[in-house]
Structure 1
C-alpha cells in the first residue's frame, strides 16, 4: 500500500464554467507489472468554506478490471447550532469532469462509505462499464464542514485482469394498460437503494401497488443508475417513469419522466446562472421540471432558482409539515400573480411521498391526474395542464367542477368561459375524508369553510360566485385541527379552476 497526503496546500484552482472547484494532486498507479491488485491511500484536510466540489485525480493504467474506492472522514463535536462534517462522494471517468459532460460514472452522496466500478457490475448509484486507461476523478462534496475542518482518507484499489461484459440495459416500457381517459394515481418522488434509499425497485413497486398507484417516477439523487433496474418491477398495472432528483446546493428539482439513461448535472448554484441550461436538458429528454419541497429546511434544500423554468411544483412532500403549509401559501400567491396575465403561465401543483425507507409511506401523498391513457406522455400532459389533485392516500377521491348559467362546464386545471358577472356554481364531491373540513380558496383568500364531513367521509358542497368576485377557485380538505385558528393538515387539495374569459 502506498500513502500520499493530498491537503489543500497542493491544490490547483479551476473553474468549470459554474461553481469553482478544487483539484488536488494526482494518485498514480504503475502498470500491472504482474500484480493482481494495487492500493493507494491519500489523506487531506478541507477547511471551513471549502468549494462545493473537490476532485482527486486518479491515473488509471491499462489492464484494470475493477476500480474500488473507500473513504472515511472525521466527525468532531461541534457547538449547538453549528454544522458538523458531512462529505459526499462520486466518480467521473476518463472523459473528465466537465459540467454536463460524458464523464459521470456514479454518485452515492453520503449514503455509502465505499463503491466499485467494473465492466459487468457496479455498486448501486454507479454505472457499470470498462475501467479504461486515463485520468479518473474522485469527486468529493463537502456538504458541511465543522469549524475544526474535515479530515478525510481515501483508499483506491485497482484490480487487474480481463474486463467482463457490460450488460445491455433494459428499460421499463413507456406505456401500461390503462382505462382510457381516466383519473390515474401516482407518486413521482421515490428513492431506491441506487441513491440514499433502502428499498429495491421491486420493493418500491410492491408498495406502490399496495397504495393503489397507477404510475411512479424513479428519482434517485444525482444519478440515473437505477434506470436499467426498473423493467422487472413495471407491468401492465404499473407505469414506471424514469428520472432523477437533481440535488444542488440551492435546492432540489425532479426530472420527471426523462428518456432512459438521461443524466442531469447538479454541480451549480443559483449564482452560477446554469439552471436554465439543465432545465432545457430535462425538457429536451422528454421530462418535466418540478422543483421539489421548495421550503424544506435542510441545508441546501430550499429552492433558490425561481420558477420561470418550472412545469409544476411539488407543494406537498411526505407527511404534511409547516414547510408544506408555507409552500402552499407561496404557490397560491403565484396563482394570484398569474391572474394578472389572464391565467397564462400558471404553475400546477403536485404532491409526492419522497419515500426513502421504512416507515416512509409510498403514495402518501399522491398526485391524481386526469390523463388520456396510462402512458408517460399522457400522464405528463395531465400534470403540465394541472388536471390533477393531491390526496393523502387512495382512500380520498374528489370531483371538483364549476358550471355557468348556460351549461358551461370546467374541471380542475380548466377555465370556465363565462362573462364576469355570470353566476357560477362550484361543486365539490368528496369520498374517503371522515371529519375533514372543506375550504374553497380564491385569489381573495378562503371564501368558504364548510362543516366537518360525517364519519363516512362522504359529502357534497356547492358554492355560488361570479368571475369578478373570484378569478379562480381551488378546494382544500383539512383534517381537524388541535389548537387555535391554524388550519388542520391537508387531506387533499386541488389545482384551480379559473373563472371568466
Structure 2
C-alpha cells in the first residue's frame, strides 16, 4: 500500500475551490480476462479541502474499473464530528468544474462501485473505460480530531468493452385532467444515491399517496435518469432533476432536460452558484433551495435567494427547522410587498423520502396547472399557484373577493383600491381538529376554532388592501406546547391585495 502524507500532496486551484491530489495509481496493460489491483492510502487532517483527487492511470484495453474503500472511524467526544468520507469518479476528460468528466457519485452511501460500458453501480454512469488519467474524488465531509485515514483499492478487468445502451427517459407529459390541481413530491431519493428504494417502489408509493407527479432528486448525480421510463405512466408524470448538495446548502433542480448534470463542488464564497443556477434554467429546470434551515452539517442555505424560482419551506414531517424556514419565507413576502417589488418567492413542500418509514407525499405541493405536463407543472410552481398539504386527504380552496365581484386565487393579485372591502375565504377538507389561521404582512390577523371531526369547514375574514397587502392561509394541528403553534397540516401561497 502506498502512503501519502499531507505534506507530499500538491495543492491545486481549480477555479472554484482548493483541492488536493495524491500520488497517482498506475497499471500496466494485461491480457483479456485478467485483473490488476492496486491499493493506495493516506491520512487527511482536520481542515482538509472539500475534495481530494486520487489520479488513476488507466491503460488501453480495460473493460471494467472497480473501486472499494475504507476509512477510520475513531471515537470522538460528544458534540465533536467524527469521520465521514464521500466518494465519486471522474474519467479521462478531467475534474474541471462543470463536470464534463463526471462518471458518478455515491457520497457516503456505498463502500464500492464499478463502471463499464454496459453497466455501472447505481449513481454512476455506464460507458467505456477509456485510457487516460481518471480521478477518484474523495469528499472529507467531516474529519475527526485524530484525522481520517483511508485506503482505496482499484481493480481493473481487461477485455472487450461491451456496448453502452442508449438511455430511454420518461415522457414529459401524462394524461392529466386539463386545467386542474395536481399533487406532486419533488424531493425523493432512490438507490441511485443514498435512498434504499427502487424507482418502481417509489412510483408505487407515489401512486398510493395520490400523487400526479414526482421529481427525481438524487444527490449530485444524474445517472438514474434513464431508470424511470418503465415506471412512468398516464397517471404519473416523472420529472428528472438532481439535488445539488454543496457544503453551503442543498438545491433542487426540478424538471431539467434528461441527462442534465449539475456540479456541486463550490461554496458560497466561490461565487459560482449563479453559473449553475443558470445551467438548471437553460436545461428547462426550476431552482429550488431545499430545507434552507436544516441543522445537518452543510445543509443551511448560504447562497441567498436571488437565483431561486421557489423555496422548500416544509421538508418531511413538520419540525422546528420547518417553522424557521416558514418564518424566513414569510419575511421575504413582507420585503417584496413593502419594497414595491412585483417578484416574490413561492413556497414548496416535499417529503425528502429516502427509505422506510419515510412517507412519500408527506408533504406534497398541490399545483394549479393547465395540464399534467412538465412545462405546465413548472409554470404553476413558478407562479405560486400552489398550496402545501400533509397528504392527499387534505384539500383547500382559497380566494379573495371584492370590488364588483372580482376574485383572485392562490398566487394571484386582487387588483382593487386600497379601501375596497375584501372577503377572504378558505374551504378545507381532510383536517379534523385543525385550526385555520390567516397570515398577512402584519402577522396573524385571523384564527378560527378547531374544525369538526369531519375535517371539513369554511373560514371567512374581511379586510382591505390597506390593512393587508397579502393574505395566506395556514391549517395547523393542535399545539403540543402552547404558545408555540401546532405543526402544519396545510399552507397556501399568498393572495396579494391591492393594485401593487
Relative to the length of structure 1, the TM-score reads 0.99
Following superposition, the deviation at residue 484 of structure 1 comes to 1.9
Aligned to 2:88: 90
The answer to whether the 8 A contact 2:168-2:229 is kept is yes
Q: Give the aligned partner of residue 463 of structure 1.
A: 461
What's the counterpart of residue 275 of structure 1?
A: 273
**Residue pairs, 1:53-92, within 5 angstroms:** 53-92=51-90
Helix, strand or coil: the match of 1:399?
Answer: strand
2-structure distance, mates of 1:390, 1:440 = 15
- Number of the residue aligned with 1:400: 398
Q: Distance in 1 between matches of 2:265 and 2:189?
A: 20
What is the rounded CA distance, in whole Å, between the counterparts of 2:178 and 2:388 in structure 1? Answer: 21
For 1:248, which of 226, 236, 246 is the aligned residue? 246
Listed one character per residue, the Cα deviations across residues 160-184 of structure 1 (whole Å, up to 9, x for unaligned) are 0001100110000000000000000
User: How many Å apart are 1:34 and its aligned residue?
Assistant: 6.5
SS of aligned partner of 2:224: helix
Contact 2:433 2:451 in 1 (8 A): yes
Choose which of 175, 178, 202 in structure 2 pairs with 1:177. 175
Q: Which deviates more, 30-39 or 412-421? A: 30-39
Residues 99 and 262, structure 2, Cα contact 8 Å, conserved in 1: no
Where 1:455 maps in the other structure, the secondary structure is coil
- Contact 1:22–1:53 (Cα < 8 Å) also in 2: yes
- Indicate if the aligned counterparts of 1:353 and 1:362 stay in contact, CA closer than 8 A: yes
What is aligned with 1:302?
Answer: 300
Equivalent of 1:38 in 36, 39, 53: 36
Query: How many positions carry a matched residue from both structures?
Result: 499
Contact 1:22 1:54 in 2 (8 A): yes
SS at match of 1:356: coil
Q: Is contact 1:343–1:498 with CA below 8 Å preserved after alignment?
A: no
Deviation of the 1:496 alpha carbon: 0.2
Identify the residue that residue 288 of structure 2 maps to in structure 1: 290
Distance 1:138 1:409, change over 3 A: same
Given candidates 480, 488, 494, the residue that maps to 1:496 is 494
Alpha-carbon distance in structure 2 between the residues aligned to 1:44 and 1:189:
36
Aligned-residue offset at 1:19: 1.0
Q: Superposed, which structure 2 residues align to 1:90-239 within 5 Å?
A: 90-239=88-237
Q: 2:189–2:195: 8 Å Cα contact kept in structure 1?
A: yes
User: Which whole-Å deviations, capped at 9, do the CAs of 1:264-285 have from their partners, x for residues lacking one?
Assistant: 0000000000000000000000
Distance 2:32 2:380 in 1: 60
1:108-128 superposed Cα distances (whole Å, 9 cap, x missing partner): 000000000000000000000
Q: TM-score, normalised by structure 2?
A: 0.99
Structure 2's unaligned 5+ residue stretches are none
CA contact (8 A) 2:106 2:194 kept: yes
Q: Distance in 2 between matches of 1:34 and 1:226?
A: 30
Structure-1 separation of matches of 2:403 and 2:114: 67
SS in 2 for 1:87: strand
Aligned to 2:358: 360
Report 1:447-462 matches (<5 A): 447-462=445-460
Aligned-pair Cα RMSD in Å: 0.8
- Describe the superposition over 1:230-257 as per-residue Cα deviations: whole angstroms up to 9, x where unpaired: 0001000000000000000000000000
Matched, 1:377 2:375: yes
Deviation at 1:32, TM superposition (A): 1.4
